Structure 1
Amino acid sequence: MEPMVTIFKYKGNDVETYVSNSPHTTLHRLELMSTEKDTSIKIYMTKHPKPGQLYPELPNDPRINIIGIGHTTVTVAWQPSPSALQYNSDIQYCLLINVKHNYKSLCAAEATLSTRVRMNDNKALSLFITTDLLKQSELILHSKVNNRMTSHAIHKESSWDVRHICIGTNTIYTIHSLLPNTQYYIDVFAINLLTNASAAYTGTFSKTLEEPIPSAKPLKDGEVALVNISGKGYQLYSFQSQGPNRRVQFTIQACAGDVWVQITRNGRRLVSEMVEDLRYFTLKGKPADTYIVHLQSMGTSRASTKVHVTSHFYRPLFPILPESLKIKSFNKLRTCDSITIAWLGTQERAKYCVYRKRLEKGHATKEIMNKDICSEPEARKKSEKVRCKTFHNLNLQRAVTTETIRGLESGTPYLFDVYLVGPTGIPIKYKSKVVSTRKEC
């Protein structure tokens, strides 16, 4: 056997092609070595090369042109591949959008986004190929793992950082749902669907426009704003942090109906979720940052919510609330003229006011649905007030208090409410509870 002769060398991280012209059956030894770290390699071999049908050809100008930029969109266009014009049904274009860098090849993108392929300890891989083994049709060999040939397909990422989109034969595309004021790197690959071979256009990058600050009502530090939203409308509020504090706390309390809350800072979204009762959002930024609070009703009827923002954490709006704001009743303690309820209290000394309301039979559900949980105790009728009492317990497991309401009518449903009033005087309403007295005792 004749000694091996080196006929070709290449070092790099791009695409390279070598053609060997030999009239005789020849044994080729292909040696691949990683020079930096674990890597993934895609190899294409054929005995009958057909120009234009293996790797798609790139146009004379392979650049990607930015033809439109918006706050959340970028529109790109490129010259068609000559291969796509000739073999239209076999060629398609795929885009890769990310926030880190461009890729020189689809193979490089696959290696980054797919599971890393680990080579041997010496980071070398050898393949022996004889021209007799190559069939008339083309053959693609992918990276070798544990002595098996495997193919790694690029996958979609669910995060905002990476996105992979295949669009067919179109040569213009608008990328949607991007973040404002963010730089994105954009790559376009022409892919031969028959061979899975691809060619990369010259990558580009673009920065989305900064989102303009909409007209919004200002929020004052430490004050509570009552916001009413009609139908499926929305309200915008702005807050600029003052002083050296880097943390800001928003308190959102849905009073009537469900509210979608979105908070952005300097154009970047920080919070986006539904609020059904009471939520705190503590955000860390820089002094003088501007926050925009977007409140939107999720129903068809009126919605209302309370909004409080502060950068003074030594003056909390509410005491530390218990895990549950539900009122519990005891069936064994329920009589024809009395009902006993219980609720969790706080570690801090607070006042609790109990109210009850007689309901008409069959109206309990409607009464709860129309209840505004942000209503002040002062808005209730004096006849509905049972009494107020102070209570606290440093041991949260024992921070439970009860109240027995007497003088009720037998077989009648009643609506019970409990208001917690902390040091600031702002009440927090527990979830309403409907309980009926016994018909017979």
Structure 2
Amino acid sequence: MSDRIAARKLPSKQVQTGHDYYTDVNTDDFTYDTNKVLPEGSEVKAYLLVNETIKVLFLIEEDGPVSLKITPCASAVESSVLYKSISDSKDYEDDPLFEEQVKPTNPAGIQLYSYVGSEAHTFQRSVNSTGIYTVFLRPIESDTYVKFFLRLKKFARDSTFYPSLPRNSAVRADSIRRKSFTVSWNRSQDETPYGNIITYCVSVSAKRSSDTYCSLMSYMFGDKLPVASKSRGFFFAWEDEVLKIFQSKARPVKKVKPREIHYTCVGTNTKYIYTQARPGKTYYINVYAINKRTNMSSAYKKLEVTTKKRKKRDRIRKLRDGKLQELEFKKSKLRFDFKYDLKNTSDLFLAVHSCTGKVTLKVTRGSLRGESVLVKKVKRSSMFTLKDLKADTYFIDIVSRQRDVPKTARLVVSKKQSKLRYPILPRKSEVFLVDNSTTSNSLTIGWRVTKSRRKFCIYQKEILARRKRRRNYNQCSNKSQSPVVDSKKVKCMIVRHQKPNMVLNHQIRNLKSNTLYQFDVVIQLGKGYSLLYNSLQTATKQHL
């Protein structure tokens, strides 16, 4: 700012019949727009470009208290107030529209105040206030409107311009739940028993805190492009050009999505319940006291609330005795954890079937990383017996390797072996041809069995050529995908009281001579659970 300031000054009041009265707002707009000199007792606003600093001034000629309230809207601002004292002055010229020539004693000035933030803030000085004050402002987030309200001693007798807030202007969270919360606040000091002029409004947002009422309006409805005041300047052509350049640089904030901010007014109530919250989400709550006569507002201190999270379901599923568990492995899910409560010392029986590839079975006691009881790699189906386990909670993990996915597996756990209603294949699970049993119209096949009671079914079909069975055939797939879906059922038999690794034989008759066949044996137990032995492909002899 130059040391020499020459500016027009319009009288802010006139005297008529011994009474004072104030000029209307048009005069103040004229003074502010022309000289960037803040008027007294009126709220004016300016449009600021992001990261560009502007300055406005005001002159205090009589010693007394001074108060300047600055209200940022769409953006946080960086503000400071610089003060210069007056060493000497000249009387006004005869023309009252021309202001005196003022020479500050200290060209550098003294910084009296600084602030960085998005809340409304006030610069105050009570003594030795005469001098020139320069206000520097810079938006740090986006373009924004900023409101100024300068108040001097001579306005002290006027009614309150902004609603007064209580000493404790904090918003309290009385109750926080998963989908709702309740907030409350103290009443404004301007409330009266009759004809109350104060109303309270509340905004709730999960995106941002609106620290001032004009900030809320900016984001709810969007800011407009700055336009010239009707009473600005002297209407020179170059003023229009400057305005056009300024408008081309302006980037007003746009309104947010309709549901991004919840806004409601609650009248004279000092409590509000928000019922549209989501579990585990953070919300910003702002409360505003609004003077219904002047439409001016004061904001309570912002409140940040995080709703309660959903109760986490125990990711470790509890196994029911004898209940079959179907496991579907994916690249994002390579591990299944279960727990089984053993109330008394007992044996524990596990049946595990890896339908494709291999899985690792782990059993621990007390926790997932507790005492290790069993670790086994399982290919196809296996049964395990854990002897004399103490009463405790046992954790069972089925883990797959990344390269084996996608795959499926099955698991059954019980304290009684009879409850393991799941077929178990022997280690050598191939269907084989009995030596010297092949003729032109018959042959004998054999397969090994386990010791428990089982049902076996034999299937046959003609094939044109020998073919390899898929290495990772999913034995847990549905019937439509089974290799025996288009085969002829030869016979089913129930075998009791067999010994371990016992061999069963069956002769198949009425075959075609010199024909290639595929034979399959399916072992069944319970309702629909079946496993397939490895197929046998062989040809009958030529009929002589």
Q: Please give the TM-score of this superposition, normalised by the length of structure 2.
A: 0.36
Rg bigger for which structure? Answer: 2
